[in-house]
Amino acid sequence: MARAIWTGSVSFGLVNVPVGLFSATQDHQVHFHQFEKGTSSRVRNQRVNEDTGDEVDYKDVVKGAELSGGSYVMLTQEELESVEPGRSRTIDISDFVDASEIDPIYYQKSYYLAPSGDTAKKAYALLVKAMQKAERIGVATFVMRGKQYLAAIRPQDKVLVLETMYFADEVRDPTKELDQLPTRTQVSGKDLEMAVKLIRSLTTQWKPANYRDTYADRVEKLIDAKKKNREIVVPEETEEDEGKVVDLLAALQASLDDAKGHQAGNTGNLQKLRTRKADDGGGKANKSATKKAATKTASKRSASKRSASKKGPARKTAAKKATKKASSRRKAS
């Protein structure tokens, strides 16, 4: 069983529901260690004084906030702890809102909230069913590991899901950050109609299992192949038409034609990873090169023979003519 990473209670009004917080997701990213090239020696990161080059113990490291002009204000751990939010064990739901009003850009990470013990199950089930019937999600704040979080709590089947969120000043304004937004660009009605048709033809039912981290899968296969002394056969790269101006309507029509056999998910057109024995790579290449060289040599020889055979009759004809001329001269004399 998973262990709770935080315990406390969810409060709404005067009702308190004891809960535990559990991570709802897991990272499947392949993690690597670092080694010095050509060796099996691990490379370690060290805290080094950039002026002296000496390693610094963790206990001697303090935090500094950078100011304008390149100067710093140094802060000790004790000073930082003095302004930390209190050690609250309550997730305070202050408001309930319609889920559609929250832009997904505000969501950070998902957690499960589970009742702590049998006595909390009734209040927990009541909160889940009430939120489902009201079709609302709760907005709350809580403190975990010395940090205050904004959170959204929503019902999913029979469990409550807590989404940590960004505060308003942490989300960037795209109109201030991006200078290439098409604010005044006009599109034709025909292009728009075709684009809508394409979107509808690619529309499918959402099934999370249709989508995989194909890069992580291929890295795992690469590791397995290397373990078995095999290597990946790298396919020839095709040139992409980057920056090429295309007819938008024609591209939409071609996309619509391709969408007729659309398969949901991101694995339909994935090229199969091919491997071969690591020792055979060079041998095959050498055999192929030898074969090509032998073919070229044979071609040269046959060309020489054809050339020689053509030259042979010509030489004989020239010799006959020279003999006839010499004979005529002797008769004349």
pLDDT at 314: 46
Whole-prediction pTM value? Answer: 0.66
149: Cα separation from own chain's centroid = 27
pLDDT at 196: 92
The answer to whether the beta carbons of residues 18 and 11 sit under 8 Å apart is: no
Per-residue pLDDT of the chain (333 residues; tens, 9 = 90+): 788 999 999 998 888 999 999 999 988 888 899 999 999 999 999 999 999 999 999 889 889 999 988 899 998 888 887 777 666 789 999 999 999 999 999 999 999 999 998 999 999 999 999 999 999 999 999 988 878 999 999 999 899 999 999 999 999 999 888 888 877 788 888 889 989 988 888 888 888 888 888 888 888 888 888 888 888 777 776 665 555 546 888 888 888 888 887 778 777 767 777 888 876 544 444 444 434 444 444 444 444 444 444 444 444 444 444 444 444 444 444
pLDDT at 156: 94
pLDDT at 79: 84
pLDDT at 201: 87
pLDDT at 246: 65
pLDDT at 154: 96
The Cα angle at residue 12 between residues 8 and 15, in degrees rounded to 5: 75
